[in-house]
Structure 1
Amino acid sequence: MLTIQGNKTQYCDGVSRRGFLTIGALGAAGLTLPELLRAEAAAGIGSSNKAVINIHLDGGPPQMDMIDLKPDAPVEIRGDFSPISTAVAGIQISELLPKLAANANDFAFIRSLVGSAGRHDAFQCQSGFHAKDLASIGGRPSMGAVLSKLYATAGQAAPTFVDLMQGRPLVRNSARPGFLGPAYQPFRPDISHLFTRQLEPGMKGELARLGTGHATSLVLNPQLSARRLTDRTQLLTGLDRIRRDVDSSGMMDAMDRFTQQAVNILTSGALADALDLEKVDPATLRRYQFSAETSGERSKYSDGPEATYKLLLARRLIEAGVRCVSVSFSDFDTHRNNFSRLRNVLPMIDHGLDALVTDLRERGMFDDVSIVAWGEFGRTPRIDTKTAGRHHWPRVGMGLLAGGGMRTGQTIGVTDRQAATAVSRPVQYKDVFATLYRNLGIDATGVTVDDPTGRPQYLLDSGTPLSELV
């Protein structure tokens, strides 16, 4: 833990600046792949806000209750919700998503997401890969970690990748850097004081086993000027070079990068400002505020209505220079009381996504920022009569895409009459990532990063950008 003490500044929620700036798993990076960066600069991408907001619907969202309803199926399949028409002729989605329906031209609805690893975390939704892929050398990196490797520079004031996920995705380190090593871990602000997400008993044990080293409090001491801090950093870096030369774990390099990035963040304030909702115009706060009364049941492991502000933070982080922001919404693990719990959480998702898309469009950012919302798997077509729940269903799931200059206002893929299997246009997780990378100007099957053995690894070993969208 590194704590640099300083004066307290109170925020609107009563949290001090000292308490607010708790940053964990700080992953700085260095300039790499100069050819790629020069190409990006020539294309005008490097100076733009091209970025990705990756929204994890934690627990596994039910495809047949959201965007692939089957009103003609037997009652034990179709469930409680009715389809409603959208602004796009021929497309219907759940009655609990009226704002998405009204703005369906801004979204692509993937109904045939296949290839789930079946794991109860967000790693596949962060990387496209199974956890076991290249596990012997650290595993595959998340997309955000890859972007840190490709884009980040030592002097930048904001990190390339910020992970705001909570619950299962956080505890199970879904946004991990894999074989890229600890230098490319995401920045993880502690947002638990803003957004309460109670952990399941088993996850509390998992989190405890992680220890306290994953969180680092960063507040600048008033007696330590920016110049003195920089001078001391350079001295420490010089002294550490000898130890780094004999270090094989990558930790020394990670600490060098960590220290430099910490200095930049402390002296710039860009990250803290982006996370400070007190600096947001009241009208914008009202746009994201979810105040509707819902008739559903809130699970004790679910996000509260304030969770829609996570998407506002994501937008502000991108304006500050972040390239990739990961966010989670809980809880879609509806083994019990599926319909009552969805009546609580789906209106919140509907409102948050609508607010984000509208905000990005008004700010001229919509074509630069790609949004994906999805989960680790779908849910069973047949309702469990004992629990009124739906269980894990890796065979097929769903996804939403928006922004990024994509051709939206369409559905992709078709499932059978029970939403149990894809019968047309199956979409792999890696296809979605290939699309997201393309939106950033990157050919993911043509660009490589070196693994610890020195062997180049393609960002994706398979996957094709969705031709319907690009």
Structure 2
Amino acid sequence: MQHSMNPSLSRRDVLRSVGCGFGYLALTDLLAAQAIAKANNSGLHHPAKAKRVLFIFMQGGPSHVDSFDHKPRLQSDDGKMMSFDDARVKAKTGKVVEHRVMKPLWKFRPYGQTGKMVSDLFPQIATHVDDLCFLHGMHTEGVAHGPATLFLHTGSINLVRPSVGSWVTYGLGSENQDLPGFVTILPSMGNGGPRNFSNAFLPTKFQGTAIGRAGVPAKDANIRNITNQTQSVDAQQRQLELLNRINREQFRMNSNDTELEAVIGSYELAYRMQTKAPEILDLAKESQATQKLYGIGAQPTDSFGRQCLMARRLLESGVRYVQVTYGDNSDNPAWDQHSNLPKHADHAKAVDQPVSGLLTDLKARGLLEDTLVWFGGEFGRTPYAEKNGTGRDHNPGGFTMWLAGGGVKPGFSFGQTDEFGHHAVQDKVHMHDMHATLLHLLGVDHTRLTFRFAGRDFRLTDVAGHVVHEIIRS
């Protein structure tokens, strides 16, 4: 049971009892944060190769066999009816059925010194292959968007669990006390929605801060109520000081009230953000050349270009984990082309230049070295035409993601799907392995980053996950 404030104490008594007031509280918070940051910089469990993460989420599952996983067999067997052992089809029909093999709709070409084969779907990202680390043996849980998207973001499909960004900030904190440690830009409200950036049972301060939501143009996206139009800064500070003193006295009387502690912290952060966040989100401060690099001011790249440039500014300002989502709020999101695979081209045209520009910009600024960039969807697509049509079905059994910077090997490909691109067969990387590797690159042992809840210790990777040391630069 929570304790209420002592009725014998007047407001004046409360203010007097606090003594040093808001300034002292802010100072102690800052000193504590600096101490945490110092410990984190020396490596929480081991020396870190990355300081921050940028996850570029392609919602809906882009086709790996039409983009980064070159399979000549699809070309030679195009149109043939063949049997495929498909978990999604077996779940629906109870049997293995024949499907028509479907060749890639875009031509593959070699790029870079490595000669990596990439299709014409992503011609600009392809120019960066010598900086990218491809994981071709990815596989995951969940055959539908909802479960697979939740598993990608939280490592679970059946329990409310903290998201990756929440675990990262719980383990490492933020590099900038005037900004959230975890920001998600235009997140989708479908297929898990807020659960994909939720803190779940972790302390509330580790929840992701959303900027806009899917379906809203990036130029109109902002942090809700980031500015106060009704009061002066001085008046807001006096109000916050009074509120903080009262809340701190309440917390002193019940130090186990973690929700109240989170509220206090959120008030303090919200006040500090008013002076910092609007400036960071103001893309007009960037040069015309930089904006053009990201495709801002042109169609169809303007909106996603703004998201990517916003992400770079947040990372540069000390935000630990930033997610950029290309998606929408529908049940059949963005890249989910079951009957109209050519639609992939529209989505690729919207993201190809912004992502390429982002990689160029990060590298030029020296940020790519210690920023881990992670690109991909919740699963891939099948090598056959769904229902003998012109689209591809979901494929969690084998797909591709790529990483860049942050200590991974550049110009490197790891893992392999079968000759049709259907199942991961060599050097397989489960999504738990991806999470474990991500934490490892940040200096965190995934088996030791735990939180006790409901009588047991939880972790992002549950009781599984192995670090993929083969992709880590020595």
CA deviations over 1:41-74 (Å, ceiling 9, x no partner): 3359999982100111101111111111323322
Tell me which residue corresponds to 1:232.
242
Tell me which residue corresponds to 2:61.
60
The whole-number CA distance in structure 2 between the counterparts of 1:273 and 1:307 is 19
Tell me which residue corresponds to 1:448.
449
Is the Cα contact below 8 Å between 1:32 and 1:150 reproduced in 2? no
Tell me which residue corresponds to 2:267.
259
CA separation of 1:292/1:41 partners in 2, compared to 1, >3 Å: closer, same or farther? closer
- Please state whether the residue corresponding to 1:84 is helix, strand or coil: strand
Tell me which residue corresponds to 2:8.
none
Q: Quick check: which has more Rg, 1 or 2? A: 2
CA deviations over 1:204-258 (Å, ceiling 9, x no partner): xxxxxxxxxxx852323443416414412322413543896686xx543332222
Aligned positions of 1:6-405 closer than 5 A: 39-42=39-42, 50-73=51-74, 74-75=77-78, 76-121=101-146, 122-127=149-154, 129-132=155-158, 135=159, 139-152=160-173, 156-167=177-188, 168=190, 171=193, 173-190=195-212, 193-195=216-218, 216-220=224-228, 221-225=230-234, 227-238=237-248, 240-241=250-251, 251-266=259-274, 269-289=275-295, 305-330=302-327, 331-338=334-341, 340-384=342-386, 387-405=389-407
- Please state whether the residue corresponding to 2:322 is helix, strand or coil: strand
- Please state whether the residue corresponding to 1:180 is helix, strand or coil: coil
> What RMSD over aligned residues (CA atoms) do the two structures have, in Å?
3.3
Deviation at 1:455, TM superposition (A): 4.2
CA separation of 1:83/1:40 partners in 2, compared to 1, >3 Å: closer, same or farther? same
The whole-number CA distance in structure 2 between the counterparts of 1:193 and 1:180 is 29
The whole-number CA distance in structure 2 between the counterparts of 1:444 and 1:31 is 27
- Please state whether the residue corresponding to 1:149 is helix, strand or coil: helix
- Please state whether the residue corresponding to 2:400 is helix, strand or coil: strand
Deviation at 1:310, TM superposition (A): 1.0
Deviation at 1:287, TM superposition (A): 0.5
Unaligned runs of 5+ in 1: 1-28, 198-214, 294-302
1:431 to 430, 433, 447: 433
Is the Cα contact below 8 Å between 1:405 and 1:439 reproduced in 2? yes
Deviation at 1:40, TM superposition (A): 2.8
User: What is the TM-score of this pair, normalised by structure 2?
Assistant: 0.76
The whole-number CA distance in structure 2 between the counterparts of 1:47 and 1:405 is 9
CA separation of 1:33/1:285 partners in 2, compared to 1, >3 Å: closer, same or farther? closer
- Matched to 1:313, the amino acid is M
- Matched to 1:99, the amino acid is Q
CA deviations over 1:248-269 (Å, ceiling 9, x no partner): xx54333222212112212xx2
CA separation of 1:440/1:32 partners in 2, compared to 1, >3 Å: closer, same or farther? farther
More helix by percentage:
2
Unaligned runs of 5+ in 2: 1-28, 79-100, 328-333
Q: What percentage of residue pairs aligned between the two structures are identical?
A: 25
Is the Cα contact below 8 Å between 1:30 and 1:153 reproduced in 2? no
